[in-house]
Amino acid sequence: MENKLINPRFAVVTLMIVIAAITRFLPHPPNFTAIGSLALFGGAMYADKRLAVIMPLAAMFISDLFIPYGFSPAVYASFVGIVIIGFMLRNKVGVKNVVLATLASAVLFFVVSNFFVWFGGTMYPQTFEGLLLCYTAAIPFFWNMLAGTVFFNLIFFGGFYLLEKQYPALAVR
């Protein structure tokens, strides 16, 4: 009897998630990381929805233990939302859908994370104008997040597509 948890697809997806988490330690422009892709890819590729949420968040949590600015509940909430966007990609992974999911993921992260920077912080006045100022100041980080997510989605989704073609055991059955 085959163990449904440990199969080639699970192993490759998990390895890719771990590699994505490790990229957080490499020099990079602010927000240009594989983390958005990690959550989107996990949501789209893990057969078990619980694992789709747990594995990317666990990888992020472990890497946060070694990063000074580490844990932020708003960031984790954003990434749960990105995993859910990934759920919508299941069995519909294609260029158009991955592009749309990539854009939606970057926008979701931008809106949620910066709302909580404004709401829970002291950098901006707690007014509508302060919220707009917060979002305006964060636009360069949005572009970096979007560029990083596009770049890493090309690697993860494109790479996995090529692996599936080479190794049919990785395909969804």
| Tens-digit pLDDT profile for residues 15-33 | 888 887 788 787 877 778 8
- Asked if residue 78 belongs to a domain, the reply is yes
φ and ψ at 67, to 5 degrees? -110, 125
The percentage of residues in the chain with a pLDDT greater than 70, rounded to a whole number, is 94
- Collapsing DSSP to helix, strand or coil, 6 comes out as coil
**pLDDT tens by residue, 128-173:** 999 999 999 999 989 998 999 999 999 999 988 998 888 887 776 5
The verdict on residue 132 lying in a domain is no
Give 160-167 contacts, CB < 8 A, sequence gap 24+: 160/12, 160/13, 160/16, 160/41, 160/45, 161/93, 163/12, 167/8
- Cα–Cα distances in Å, from 142 out to 96, 132, 138, 139, 149? 21, 14, 6, 5, 10
73 domain-assigned: yes
Residue 19 lies in a domain: yes
pLDDT of residue 22: 81
HSE, side-chain direction, 13 A CA sphere, residue 13? 25
* Domain annotation covers residue 153: yes
In the chain, the number of structural domains is 1
Summarize pLDDT for 32-70 with one digit per residue, the tens: 888 888 899 989 988 889 988 998 888 888 888 887 766
Structure tokens at 112: 């949620």
Q: Is residue 83 part of a domain?
A: yes
Give the model's pLDDT for residue 48: 86
Confidence of residue 1 (pLDDT cuts 50, 70, 90): very low
Residue 45: domain span: 8-113+142-168
- Is residue 136 a part of any domain in this protein? no
Is residue 18 in some structural domain? yes
